Chains A and B, each alone.
Chain A
């Protein structure tokens, strides 16, 4: 009886916290389908989550007011390049730190860990000046290359690789495989969960990045989605429906990807210990 009560209370607490986390997302999505006049009017009541009248006007507005497809493609290109190149570079760096024996390895590992505590905002200005001085601005590559090497990604891979049984790699070595081949044919197939986790964490972090593209881009040809939303912050009155619709469209690809790779992500989180 007591156990049932405890389980019930635990489930209730989980439901409440899940609702608290889901409420903003639900407000965003539901609000994007409401007529402009109802969004703020309903905001203070349960009606915020249950539209009486559905409309696609806000979505029509978004496509009329900005070149959404172009900004989406820019974001996909920038983030896709960043994730793929990041997976390659950071996994190799982590493998070298976790498995290879070379002089200065502990020092480099310490250095990588130390850079984890430096926020991007602290290096944004010197990085901006340095790259501007060599004329590297206003294209998509400048939004990718500075972020390919990522200490958090290296650390996540390092933790995962360090936990893999060495016997697998030793068997490959006995069969004559070199380091790179061992990595590609033995380690990578066994580390899918880590790759999925790092990909999703990287994407979550950079998909909404605002400061760097703001500093480095001028024209729409290289501007990602987070900058495009600033188009909707015009002279009053603001059209909140358009802003919510744009937000929904911006969140959708990441959400979809997360749902698709949810299992691998959860396995990776458990294995690399990034939960909590």
Chain B
């Protein structure tokens, strides 16, 4: 009787059977961008959670305006998420600070081969891939066909036909002759942040200069203040001096038909297309030297050094890079799909699509990524200051020299950013499936 009671008691008090494998809580930080982007990301996370039971993604939306600040604070507090999204300017800085692990051995080779070369170049630091992306950006020149034809100028539609610097000057003069206030060029001077570097450093690179010596990463002297950069920025300054640039405080210079040309990117297309319809043309930037250069880069994905299960994190990234999700995301934000497979299926970017030029620029190597140095945020900030001074009429060489001094001082102060954090490896133990 006693034995029965004991058995019954044990049966009642026996601990519940342990679960074989509780799903790993995979924390993912995503920028709280446009509502459409958020909808797609939430749907992707739900689909990923439903498809497998090894991991359960917890999506955290971080406001875009304070994103880098929150990442830095989380890193200092040892509280980084497993998977992190980050904007292009910060890729190399985050790698150098030891926030990210290399992705080379974690993602399938066929997927890496499918990525656009611009995305791979953007994500590579010291020979290793640290980030991938669902989309890339396109930079070009938007034109109003009606106004361009009225001025009798040739309309280039591919990189090979890009206007030279002298041709572009003549185009501006011709357009100005047909324009009441002569302000024919919208340079998006109302855009905040990194725009000035993103939009105008390609002109310097096209003219033979650069933001920094990319080979050594140790100086900007002779590059940002060299003859190519000075001549490029003097030409830009002449556009302001001659009154060709519309200050566009209302943000409607191009859509209202006041300006015939607008410096811009893929994100302008929906609004411009609504306003101009068939009169909207997309052209490459002018080339200031023998080769055309444009910019690239957008939000990236990486796996942080805080992640205990990098292979699970990589599985999530692989899931996000499926054509279905890339196409859904790029339909929401209008950006260039980051894989060739998705690109071929995109109505906007496939051959014959209205934004095909952006894809060609990225695929055929016209897009130059940001300099691969942790100093990029400083470089960008120094260039922006120089650009504003030049816009306001400051001597070009002196403005660029000041920026060069700021950059070189930062490089020197940081001992030229020795690769202290690049030695990190994928954790072997517990690296998981």
> Which residues in A have some Cβ–Cβ distance to B below 8 Å?
37, 40-41, 43-44, 64-66, 128-129, 132, 137-138, 214-220, 227-238
Contacts and interface: CB of A to CB of B under 8 A. Distances in A.
A12 to B, nearest CB: 32
A233 B64 contact: yes
Contacts of A233: 63-65, 192
A132 B81 CA distance: 15
A232 B64 CA distance: 8
A219 B76 contact: no
B70 interface: yes
B78 interface: yes
B252 A231 contact: no
A129 B73 contact: no
A129 B69 CA distance: 15
B70 A218 contact: yes
Nearest to B77: A132
Contact of B188 (A138, A217, A236): A236
Given A37-B252, A132-B77, A137-B77, A218 B60 contact: yes
A40 B64 contact: no
Given A65-B35, A238-B192, A230 B78 contact: no
B66 to A, nearest CB: 4
11 contacts: A37-B252, A132-B76, A132-B78, A137-B79, A214-B73, A217-B70, A218-B62, A227-B63, A233-B63, A236-B188, A238-B192
Contacts of A66: 32
Contacts of B267: 235-236
Contacts of B66: 214, 227, 230
Contact of B69 (A41, A43, A214, A236): A214
Which residue of A214, A217, A218 has the most chain B CB atoms within 10 A of its CB atom?
A218
Nearest to B67: A230
Contacts of B428: none
B195 A236 contact: yes
Interface residues of B, number: 33
Contacts of A214: 66, 69-70, 73
Contacts of B76: 128-129, 132
Interface of B: 29, 32-35, 60-67, 69-70, 73-74, 76-79, 81, 188, 190-192, 195, 249-252, 267, 271
Nearest to A233: B65
Contact of B61 (A137, A220, A238): A220
Contacts of B251: 37, 40, 237
B304 to A, nearest CB: 13
B87 to A, nearest CB: 9
Contact of B33 (A64, A227, A229, A235): A235
A234 B64 contact: yes
Given A138-B79, A233-B64, A44 B249 contact: yes
Contacts of B32: 66, 231
Q: Which of A66, A128, A215 has the most CB of B within 10 A?
A: A215
A119 to B, nearest CB: 18
A218 B374 CA distance: 24
